[in-house]
Structure formats: C-alpha cells, structure tokens
Amino acid sequence: MPIDETKNVRIVFVVSHETRKELDALAKKDRRPLGAYLRNLCEDHIVNETKEK
C-alpha cells in the first residue's frame, strides 16, 4: 500500500557511516530489519516520555 493511502509519514535520519554500521548491528541482534528497529526505538522513546509527564 502506498504511504499516501495510510496515516503514516516518512521520516529521514541522516547518520554517519559508523553510526549506520552500529545501528545495523543492533537491528540484526534484535532480529529485525533496520527500519522496523528504528521505528520501534522511536515509538518506545515516545511512550516513555509520555509516561513521565
């Protein structure tokens, strides 16, 4: 399904090559694709920030 037909938005992260390698390693350790790993990382952070308020 094209992103325009959902309520999702695209976010672009710009990181160094070294950071990308580290993120790839963490995602592989977590057995998820990099995009899913980053999405869950952001969502978890938002949930934790919301709970603190």
Cα distance between residue 44 and residue 31, in whole Å = 17
pLDDT at 18: 98
pLDDT at 2: 60
Helix (H, G, I), strand (E, B) or coil at 47: helix
CA distances from 53 to 15, 27, 31, 37, 45 (A): 29, 29, 32, 25, 13
Below-50 pLDDT ranges, the chain? none
CATH topology of domain 3-52: Arc Repressor Mutant (1.10.1220)
pLDDT at 27: 96
pLDDT at 8: 78
What residue spans define the domains of the chain? 3-52
